[in-house]
Amino acid sequence: MSGNTLGHLFRVTTFGESHGPAIGCVIDGCPPGLPLSEADIQPELDRRRPGTSRHVTQRQEADRVEILSGVYQGVSTGTPIALLIRNTDQRSKDYGNLHETFRPGHADYTYWHKYGVRDPRGGGRSSARLTAPIVAAGAVARHWLAAQHGVRLRGCVTAIGTHELAMDDWSQVHANPFFAATAQGLDAVEAYMDGVRKAGDSVGATVYVEAGGVPVGLGEPVFDKLDADIAHAMMGLNAVKGVEIGSGFASARQMGSEHGDELTPQGFASNHAGGVLGGIASGQDVTVRIAIKPTSSIRIPRRSIDLHGQPAEVVTHGRHDPCVGLRAVPIAEALLALVLMDHALRHRAQCAGVWVPTPDIARG
Amino acid sequence: MSGNTLGHLFRVTTFGESHGPAIGCVIDGCPPGLPLSEADIQPELDRRRPGTSRHVTQRQEADRVEILSGVYQGVSTGTPIALLIRNTDQRSKDYGNLHETFRPGHADYTYWHKYGVRDPRGGGRSSARLTAPIVAAGAVARHWLAAQHGVRLRGCVTAIGTHELAMDDWSQVHANPFFAATAQGLDAVEAYMDGVRKAGDSVGATVYVEAGGVPVGLGEPVFDKLDADIAHAMMGLNAVKGVEIGSGFASARQMGSEHGDELTPQGFASNHAGGVLGGIASGQDVTVRIAIKPTSSIRIPRRSIDLHGQPAEVVTHGRHDPCVGLRAVPIAEALLALVLMDHALRHRAQCAGVWVPTPDIARG
Amino acid sequence: MSGNTLGHLFRVTTFGESHGPAIGCVIDGCPPGLPLSEADIQPELDRRRPGTSRHVTQRQEADRVEILSGVYQGVSTGTPIALLIRNTDQRSKDYGNLHETFRPGHADYTYWHKYGVRDPRGGGRSSARLTAPIVAAGAVARHWLAAQHGVRLRGCVTAIGTHELAMDDWSQVHANPFFAATAQGLDAVEAYMDGVRKAGDSVGATVYVEAGGVPVGLGEPVFDKLDADIAHAMMGLNAVKGVEIGSGFASARQMGSEHGDELTPQGFASNHAGGVLGGIASGQDVTVRIAIKPTSSIRIPRRSIDLHGQPAEVVTHGRHDPCVGLRAVPIAEALLALVLMDHALRHRAQCAGVWVPTPDIARG
Amino acid sequence: MSGNTLGHLFRVTTFGESHGPAIGCVIDGCPPGLPLSEADIQPELDRRRPGTSRHVTQRQEADRVEILSGVYQGVSTGTPIALLIRNTDQRSKDYGNLHETFRPGHADYTYWHKYGVRDPRGGGRSSARLTAPIVAAGAVARHWLAAQHGVRLRGCVTAIGTHELAMDDWSQVHANPFFAATAQGLDAVEAYMDGVRKAGDSVGATVYVEAGGVPVGLGEPVFDKLDADIAHAMMGLNAVKGVEIGSGFASARQMGSEHGDELTPQGFASNHAGGVLGGIASGQDVTVRIAIKPTSSIRIPRRSIDLHGQPAEVVTHGRHDPCVGLRAVPIAEALLALVLMDHALRHRAQCAGVWVPTPDIARG
């Protein structure tokens, strides 16, 4: 139960460290017969890839994925799909001085206490680089979800530090380096980000993801509710400190007569629930918002201790994202896809064949 | 994988419906030798019990717990601990009219679509009544955590609707009906709550829970991080729509030079992390905040549909909490205890015997 | 991972001790809509019940099962089904002297070393009494398997000590106290068993169980093969020391040209495989044979040690089965049903909708 | 729950097909600090390697293992250990004709019905080649078991077809091509095997494995007994049709006064139990015997059907083991190591710190 597997029926086990020879994952439980090749996965990895603008880490990784198993003649066979990504641009010397101390806000201190041994190069296992296999696995899941249920996923950055970003034009998301679903105010954000980077500092962000076309019924009471499993996946993403479903924290200030989404034959009248009622998908859009803390590795000197508990100063010189929140969008989408995929299989395991006379109003 | 079990090594499986003959749980994996009797569990149940003030549901349930197994001569034997609570005050006729329609904001609609059959009496399986076995199991966990590691858990309500509650006097928590850690402004809250109740409406709340004395090292990368598992447990609690760890959503507006908690030989200089770094406990207090939506069952008429998809009006007459957030405090503490307990066992499974020369600065 | 749960999707968690207040189980994952009442379960418990002839233990237990949850208006709701059986005929004084010593061949010694505490009354958790909840859960599984897939299960005793029993007339199984599928040679067996009992000794047995109508395709590579999970379930049954599938140990002496079952358009030409090829059901009868050791609790004095490691003599006076193998038949059937049920759900989770042009030759 | 993972705390997930680009596994849960390199794993793989004598398959695979993650500076870090073995000697054309038909006794028919798609080259996922990653993972487990608990594992072939092999000289096991723990009668076996091979037929075998030094206490009631999990692992090994613990099927013919191993201050007086009592290790040698069926792929023509259900004749020309039982010895040892390793971690998760005054008599 060492925690490196996500999902119960669509199970993704990742492996690898930032500066080891390779990273990757094994997907167990993929239904057979899904058309699949590297070309279905690579585009998602490319969206997450480092080095694509000056606002993200300058590490250059091709992140080429190789399918090692589970696919024969272009379709999944139902056996484990192993995905391999070789590391190519490790600059471990950047981390030489980190062997002896701990970065504030970083997993250095806790990994050391937990395991008594750690790979400090690039954060080792705790590196955000380990989200690449998650994105790869998520590509398989969203491929199946789209084919089987017409599920559509998308996401965007809604705030960078104190800069709020509108969500008024989804066509813009890939037209700017900030994953912003708007064309408004990006110049200000660009200047702001340049300032953060030049100061050697970093900044937080909020990210929004949603899934449309989710079949009513996905999710399990009492503990493995759909929203509970989404919260688990999202809070497990590096640097995430908060998760909201639907109206989220705003719900706490609402009255019941305002929050509860009314039902009509034409559909739900609102979506405060974020597509989940009692832990089970209602058929409305599943909406999620996450808070991402600023990157821990910064060039501004910070107080810390060394391996012997003595005071030390830490300055991180490696190549880091000044705002890890930016590249979180494709990862959060992938995580949402993985949770939905797992619940799609869980649901049909127990409830295949269930039929009710009530129309699914969310499908219109 | 039907989702009714929480935990991997300290496993709690609950059963029961609001108006069935009994509710309860089976705890599998409790270490042997823990002194345990009903008297260790009952006080926690009493804190959660309905009917204790006019601000909560008037259903009268003694919630007497019976230990059916796993304890011999006053200590746990290491075998499953089954806990049984008989239901005694069901008034199912209150729900007669709900057979034919769906309450807005409630699991009625989704259970129906998922299972094709549902027990509408008191919400059946989706009732908040099912948190009683969670509290009972949590009592066992906190008992062990206190004895083994000196872990201390506490919680309070920090906002009711738009009323913020200070957190300035923990001795007050059980001295008022609002689980408020303050003596300030309670008259206003009382009047506010009376107004909500008389209007037949309900209101949301936020709850804060923390655990002190958590051993450094608990938590697993990459997916089952301590905070990820806390988020899973909390978001799985009825009516929760948001979860924050440490600075939570405020982190998104912070700079790295502000957020990252500096380390000194005397301890961490701040706790923005909320006691978790890289998914692993740092030894600082684990701090969690959750948002709880207003109760779905209200007396104000709402639009809905019936089993055939036709328009219908819903008014709920049963006995309900006007603010489910109030009674959420002991439940959230119990969930936090269950997650910590599970991770304590997971940690020693893999890492028993690990020793490092670095002092645990959080322990002082 | 304390081991008290069987199954992944149809999950049975048992609880209780031989002389505690109650035993029972929680079934999580049962599909909704299955007609179910105590009357569907009780007959299976009655087949396993003690005290029915002089050849089994004289303990009198009504073994009345109560459904606590998961069933509403006569059908399963998809939520956990909790089953409770109160213990009524504990005679714990029979075990007074066993607090201080260990019975040869019994779990006394190992439980003591594992847990440091044990409930010695009637064997506590290790008692064969704990097979009652397994039989109860198995009744639910076989009920669904019969309704959904037409699966038929049956079993019999094929040897008692050195007495081999023919398998030539299945109508006899419930017409004699030995679960023998024959009317031949029962007088000799009866005399033999009387001798064993009067001598205060016990004797082993072999049991055969089979399932017909199992859908082709059930079972998972590589580790959770159908036969692997059957072996797990059967070897976990008290006193079992060996498990065979199909030709079993006889396969080791066969040639490939003899063992491999040929396929014809009219069906398989033989069934050496026991209905499983590569871990996956072929559609032929799944056939299993298990070896059951003689009861450990006997009246003949045996050498042992006490809690301090000093020599001691042990004589067991409680009420025990002289041949536990007899009552193993309904239990082994129940275990086979539970494994098949779990795999039926696992299969449809991953492979629902798979279609091949090749006829299923085992169905004829 | 697609079944490609073994273990709960020491989890091994394998991937790959016989003729795909690579096979391998991910080990999650290995304790940190274990000295480990490829040199600790390769020797075990070499013992299992094909092409080492004329009595095994002539396929030439170097089976070079590469550690991709989880090891830093020569010790395990506690993060997942990924092991990769590239396939190098695929001759897929040998299998061309098998696309259209099913080999008797082989998984061809069942994979096809289960998944609707299959990789027929070399048996695809069902190939015995997939035992290589198991052996590699087992090497890690036995390495830890030896270092931590002094556990010693060994195994041998005890029968080939109708030829029984004595177990009188363990030094011989690696001195002959039959994994025989004897120097007696090997000429006859050699001649016998030559005959089988020349006839284009195959033959079954029995294999014995044992583990010494197993700590008392390993194993979990009620379902995941140590022997149950051993049976699961062994029956999951390709071609295994029977599993015995201790006296196995002979127990069924014994009396209780013979079978139950007496305890003395100097140790157990016998080991009919095979080192497991009530599912928990007694500290005696854990002894296991398995029956392995003859290889399904033979050159003798057999009746079968084609993909359309029409009669067909099958002759297998690929390179196959005339007796798969031979190479099963290192695999069975590996599986036993994996089960013991998993239970060692499970035991300390729940029972770390348990102490009893009773001496462990099995340790002498």
pLDDT digits (tens, 9 = 90+) for A173-185: 999 999 999 999 9
Tell me how close the Cα of B203 comes to any Cα of chain D, in angstroms.
41
Look at residue B90 in the predicted model and tell me its pLDDT: 66
In angstroms, the CA B164 to CA B167 distance is 10
Chains that touch A (3 or more CB pairs under 8 A): B, C, D
Give the type of residue at C266.
Answer: Q
Residues of C in contact with A350 (CB under 8 A): 9, 29-32, 78, 345
Assigned token pair, C9: 């999707």
Q: Give the residue from A273, A16, A255, A285 showing the smallest Cα distance to A134.
A: A16
Collect all residues with Cβ–Cβ distance below 8 Å to D285 and sequence separation of at least 6: D210, D211, D212, D214, D271, D274, D275
Q: Is residue C70 part of a domain?
A: no
Count other Cβ atoms within 10 Å, centred on residue A140: 29
What confidence tens digit (pLDDT) does each residue in A18-30 have?
A: 999 999 999 999 9
Look at residue A242 in the predicted model and tell me its pLDDT: 98
Interface of C with A (CB under 8 A): 1, 9, 29-33, 78-79, 221, 345-346, 348-352, 354
Q: Is residue D245 part of a domain?
A: yes
Look at residue A55 in the predicted model and tell me its pLDDT: 81
Q: Is residue B38 part of a domain?
A: no
CB contact under 8 A, D357 and C130: no
Residues of A in contact with D132 (CB under 8 A): none
Question: Whole-number mean pLDDT of chain B?
Answer: 93
With CA atoms as reference, the chain B residue closest to D351 would be B31
How sure is the predictor about C96, in pLDDT bands with cuts at 50, 70 and 90?
low
In angstroms, the CA B241 to CA B231 distance is 11
Percentage above 90 pLDDT, chain A: 84
Of A69, A114, A125, the CB nearest to D15: A69
With CA atoms as reference, the chain B residue closest to D33 would be B354
Tell me which of B322 and C341 has the higher pLDDT: C341
Look at residue D92 in the predicted model and tell me its pLDDT: 58
Tell me if C91 sits within 8 A of C319, measured CB to CB: yes
Residue C95: is its pLDDT beyond 60? no
Q: For the domain that residue C322 is a member of, what is the CATH number?
A: 3.60.150.10
SS3 per-residue string spanning chain B: CCCCEECCCCEEEEEECCCCCEEEEEEECCCCCCECCHHHHHHHHHHHCCCCCCCCCCCCCCCCEEECCCEECCEECCCCEEEEEECCCCCHHHHHHHHHECCCCCCHHHHHHHHCCCCCHHHHHHCHHHHHHHHHHHHHHHHHHHHHHCCEEEEEEEEECCEECCCCCHHHCCCCCCCECCCCCHHHHHHHHHHHHHCCCCECEEEEEEEECCCCCCCCCCCCCHHHHHHHHHHCCCCEEEEEECCHHHHHHCEHHHHCCCEECCEECCCCCCCEECCEECCCCEEEEEEECCCCCCCCCEEEEECCCCEEEECCCCCCCCCCCCCHHHHHHHHHHHHHHHHHHHHHHHHCCCCCCCCCHHHC
Tell me how close the Cα of D346 comes to any Cα of chain C, in angstroms.
7
CB contact under 8 A, B348 and D346: no
In angstroms, the CA A209 to CA A167 distance is 11
CB contact under 8 A, B80 and C23: no
Look at residue D134 in the predicted model and tell me its pLDDT: 98
Look at residue D52 in the predicted model and tell me its pLDDT: 75
Assigned token pair, A92: 């471990």
How many domains, chain C?
1
Percentage above 90 pLDDT, chain C: 84
Of A16, A66, A117, the CB nearest to D82: A16
Tell me how close the Cα of D86 comes to any Cα of chain A, in angstroms.
9
Residue A65: is its pLDDT beyond 70? yes
Mean pLDDT value across residues D311-321: 84
CB contact under 8 A, D17 and A116: no
Preferred mutation among C149, C350, C356 to probe A, highest tally of A CBs within 10 A: C350
CA D44 to chain centre: 12
How sure is the predictor about A137, in pLDDT bands with cuts at 50, 70 and 90?
very high
Tell me how close the Cα of B336 comes to any Cα of chain C, in angstroms.
20
Of B32, B221, B352, the CB nearest to D79: B221
Tell me which of C16 and C99 has the higher pLDDT: C16
Burial class of residue A93, CB neighbours in 10 A (0-12, 13-18, 19+): exposed
CB contact under 8 A, A263 and B296: no
Residue D195: C-alpha distances to residues A331, D57, D203, D247 (Å): 60, 15, 11, 33
Tell me how close the Cα of C223 comes to any Cα of chain A, in angstroms.
12
Of C4, C32, C116, the CB nearest to B33: C116
What confidence tens digit (pLDDT) does each residue in C226-275 have?
A: 999 999 999 999 999 999 999 999 999 999 999 999 999 999 999 999 99
Going through chain A in order, the beta strands assigned E by DSSP cover 5-6, 11-16, 22-28, 65-67, 71-72, 75-76, 81-86, 152-160, 163-164, 205-212, 240-245, 263-264, 267-268, 276-277, 280-281, 286-292, 302-305, 311-314
Residue C93: C-alpha distances to residues C28, C303, C319 (Å): 36, 22, 12
Q: Is residue A150 part of a domain?
A: yes
Q: Is residue C41 part of a domain?
A: no
Of B3, B33, B118, the CB nearest to C77: B118
Tell me if C189 sits within 8 A of C161, measured CB to CB: no
With CA atoms as reference, the chain D residue closest to C348 would be D114
Look at residue B97 in the predicted model and tell me its pLDDT: 64
CB contact under 8 A, D203 and C310: no
Q: Is residue A89 part of a domain?
A: no
Residue C87: is its pLDDT beyond 70? yes
Residue D97: is its pLDDT beyond 70? no
Mean pLDDT value across residues A265-274: 97
Chains that touch C (3 or more CB pairs under 8 A): A, B, D
Preferred mutation among A23, A57, A108, A110 to probe B, highest tally of B CBs within 10 A: A110
Of C231, C280, C361, the CB nearest to D235: C231
Whole-model pTM? 0.97
Collect all residues with Cβ–Cβ distance below 8 Å to C197 and sequence separation of at least 6: C54, C55, C322
Mean pLDDT value across residues A269-294: 98
Q: Is residue D136 part of a domain?
A: yes
Residues of B in contact with D349 (CB under 8 A): 9, 29, 345-346, 348-349
Look at residue D94 in the predicted model and tell me its pLDDT: 58
What confidence tens digit (pLDDT) does each residue in A329-359 have?
A: 999 999 999 999 999 999 999 999 999 989 9
Look at residue C97 in the predicted model and tell me its pLDDT: 64
Low-confidence spans in chain B with pLDDT less than 70 = 51, 90-98, 318-319, 364
Residue D233: is its pLDDT beyond 90? yes
Of C201, C241, C282, the CB nearest to D248: C241
User: Can you tell me whether residue C74 is helix, strand or coil?
Assistant: coil
Of B112, B203, B248, the CB nearest to A256: B203
Residue A112: is its pLDDT beyond 90? yes
CA B312 to chain centre: 33
With CA atoms as reference, the chain A residue closest to C29 would be A350
Q: Is residue B203 part of a domain?
A: yes
In angstroms, the CA D108 to CA D111 distance is 6
CB contact under 8 A, C17 and B119: no
What confidence tens digit (pLDDT) does each residue in D109-145 have?
A: 999 999 999 887 878 999 989 999 999 999 999 999 9
Question: Which range marks the domain in which residue A157 is found?
Answer: 94-351
